[in-house]
């Protein structure tokens, strides 16, 4: 029986990945960065440190890397402020269901707290009251795919790993869940993870509403 659900933020809790890509595309066009659409997809779901390494391999200059990140960040924040970033479909219903059923809930994201706070504070539906535990990237020594963030969340929830379910949309996030030894559900988003033998997906859902239905069936 599942007693706790751990939510990734970007692409799982909030519908951010499509808007991230749009923000990056605008930054690429503005500064004429040599980054393809496939390059931009590769940024989704990786930690801040991984992002620096990933972009440096493509832009060959840390000055350009920092410019690219800052430009895309400011564009995305403007989009969020305009109300373009929202909960993913079914998330509010799932969070309310968990609260009604006494299922503990954690947020576990590689994004550092100051930036994550800027994103979620612009989402009208968001409230800290939905969560028993909040783990941000700057609370861990290592970002995903390292399992540390999920292990911290599970320990803070004070439930066994067998009683947890992680919700993720990204390759690195699922890899981190695998390394933590916790059951993971892939909620489909931008990147197709169906044929990646290096990761193990326990459950696959199109939306968070399907997660709610699965929890009801497995009470």
What's the whole-model pTM score? 0.87
- Number of helical (H) and strand (E) elements in the chain, helices listed first: 9, 6
DSSP assignment letter at 138:
G
Tens-digit pLDDT profile for the chain (219 aa)? 899 999 999 889 998 878 888 999 999 999 999 899 889 888 876 767 788 899 999 999 999 999 999 999 899 889 988 988 889 999 999 999 999 999 999 999 988 899 899 888 888 889 999 999 999 999 999 888 899 999 999 999 999 999 999 999 988 899 999 999 999 999 998 778 888 899 999 999 999 999 999 999 998
Q: Which residues are catalytic?
A: 8
Q: Residue 186: beta bridge partners? A: 168, 204
Task: For the beta carbon of residue 182, count every other beta carbon within 10 angstroms.
Answer: 23
pLDDT confidence of residue 88: 93
User: Which runs of consecutive H residues, i.e. helices, occur in the chain?
Assistant: 17-31, 37-41, 48-59, 62-81, 91-101, 113-121, 148-157, 171-180, 208-217
């Amino acid at each position: 029986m599942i007693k706790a659900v751990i939510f990734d933020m970007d692409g799982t809790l909030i519908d951010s990945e499509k808007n991230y890509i749009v923000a990056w595309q605008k930054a690429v066009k503005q500064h004429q960065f040599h980054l393809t659409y496939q390059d931009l997809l590769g940024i989704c779901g990786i930690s801040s440190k991984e992002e620096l390494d990933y972009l440096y391999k493509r832009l060959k200059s840390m000055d350009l890397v920092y410019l690219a990140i800052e430009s895309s960040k400011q564009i995305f924040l403007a989009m969020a402020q305009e109300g373009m970033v929202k909960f993913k479909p079914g998330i509010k219903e799932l969070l309310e269901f968990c609260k009604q059923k006494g299922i503990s809930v954690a947020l576990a994201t590689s994004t550092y707290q100051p930036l994550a706070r800027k994103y979620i504070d612009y989402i009208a539906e968001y409230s800290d009251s939905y969560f028993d535990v909040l783990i941000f990237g700057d609370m861990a020594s290592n970002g995903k795919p390292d399992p540390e963030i999920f292990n911290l969340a599970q320990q803070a929830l004070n439930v066994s790993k067998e009683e947890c379910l992680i919700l993720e949309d990204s390759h690195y996030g699922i890899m981190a869940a695998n390394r933590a030894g916790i059951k993971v559900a892939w909620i489909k988003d931008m990147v197709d993870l169906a044929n990646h033998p290096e990761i193990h997906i326990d459950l696959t859902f199109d939306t968070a509403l399907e997660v709610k239905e699965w929890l009801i069936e497995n009470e």
